[in-house]
Amino acid sequence: MSTRPLTLRRHVLVFAVLVSGFVFFLVGAILFLHHLGQARTRLSASLQSTARIIAGNASAALAFRDLAAASEILGTLRHDPLIVSAVLYDLQGETFVSHGRPIGSPHPLDPDSAVLVDVGNQGETYGRLLVVADNRAELRRTALTWAGVYGGAFLLTLLVVLILAARFQRAVAAPIVSLARTAQEVTSRRDYSLRAQTRGPAEVSALAEAFNTMLLEVGRRDEALARQLVALDQEVRERKAAQETLRENTREMLRLSREAGMAEVAAGVLHNIGNALNSINVSAELLADHLRSHARSGLAALQELFRSPPPKARAVLEAHAEGPALRDYAAACAGHASEHLTLAEDELASLRIGVGHLKEIVARQQTLAKAPRRSEQFDLVEVVRESLLIDKTESHAPAVRVLQSTEGAPPFHVFADRGAVAQILINLLANARAAVATASPADPLVRIHIGPATASHLPVSVSDNGVGIAPDQLVSIFRYGFTTKSAGHGFGLHNAANTARLLGGSLRVHSDGVGRGATFTLELPRQPPGVAHEA
């Protein structure tokens, strides 16, 4: 069994964890250092303020050599747990009074933990004051607090990333793995009764439905060919020369049809899921060519053999009592088989037309998804047609009548990102179909209208006769996370409105109220920025 789907899951999980972990660690480290620096600055500023206040209060005591007053003033520093030492020096640099732990001389001044200020009054200096603080405990507490905060946030982020990665794996990787396993079982067991699960994204679901349709058709043809083979073997088992020829032709037809059609289609689907539709088309072409050339030519040769047998065979058939009846019966069997081959060719033609239609739709979606994002001038009518085609394929809602109309003279050219415009229209059409399906009106209707154009913009509107929008919800309809659907996420219209603004246009909504439908209007620029608008 291939390990590629498992590798996809592992890569998604590792990529999500590494990217989120690296970004969070980098941002957290920067913020941690920033907060630690702010704490140092705050503590240093507090120490400076305290030193100036004490210096101002001690100026009189130092001027009058009042040792008791100076000791009392320095004693007030005991209320500050961060200050460990304070020394009041006179003009000669001698210690006048001290507080706290003794300070060695000379004292190395650390601007973050020690402050030396002048003590004086009205421009006259009486001495100096040295205040020393121990900020390590406070900085350690600050560091541990922020480390705990960032650690908890990191664990929460990692949990969210794991949940999102698991949801992505269930939504995207699991359906692809299931489809690959089903295709492998069909190829190895030749059991065409197996069916792939039609779940997951719209593209994978459409591919699984096409694969199931192919299996149903191939299985039906396989059973029909097997029944014909058994019937022919039973009827011609006791005939000698004609019996051997008919059996060989039937075996060759069965072998070629199975190898060139069924096995090739199943192997092609297993080899490359992305080329599954192309494999179906090629296999149908090969099977049709086989029915036209080999099988039909073999039946024609069999008919000709019994209608105009060789001389020896003619003598044997004419001599035998049941010879003419055998010739007529064999010719009738060949004609009956020829009629079935004609029906099979017609069914194959219908299958090829359907596969071609599905290939065109998938190709359009891949073009929209993979095309580089760039603005260009294009005909809005063509993009509306493509969006309707994709919306019709992806929609599982009941049938809705869709009307198209234009107002003004063509061409209806706009200048924008073609893929982005198509995505917005597909989103609006899907919402309109959902609104109509919820309301279930007598005549489900979605209308898409282009025009009339202004000097700078061309509008295209999508209207429906669905559930409508309440007046108090109109102001919030484009807000991120706002939705009126029970299973909605509130992303589609928010992204569509933002994309419209980035394209130089706008997206607005109008509704007469609940149960009276809604109209979304997308306005797009007609010319590139800086180009004079046409009148």
Q: With a cut of 50, list the residues of the chain below it in pLDDT.
A: 1-6, 105-108, 256, 259-272, 274, 535
Q: How far apart are CA 479 and CA 431, in angstroms?
A: 16
pLDDT of residue 481: 78
Contact 67, 88 (CB under 8 A): no
Q: Give the angle 512-516-521 at the CA atoms, nearest 5°.
A: 60
Which pLDDT does position 12 carry in this prediction? Answer: 66
- Which has the closest alpha carbon to 201: 179, 217, 183, 184? 179
Q: Look at the pTM and tell me if it is higher than 0.85.
A: no
Task: Decide if 444 contacts 532 (C-beta within 8 A).
Answer: no
Whole-number pLDDT of residue 222: 74
Query: Can you give the pLDDT at residue 264?
Result: 43
Q: Provide the total of helices (H) and of strands (E) in the chain, helices listed first.
A: 14, 11
Q: List, in order of start, the domains of the chain with CATH numbers.
A: 4-137 (3.30.450), 190-367 (no CATH), 375-525 (3.30.565.10)
At residue 535, the pLDDT reads 47
CA atoms of 394 and 382, how far apart (whole Å):
19
Cα–Cα distance, 263 to 95 (Å, whole number): 102
Q: What is the pLDDT of residue 383?
A: 92
Distance CA 484, CA 507 (A): 18
Burial (Cβ within 10 Å: 0-12, 13-18, ≥19) of residue 267: middle
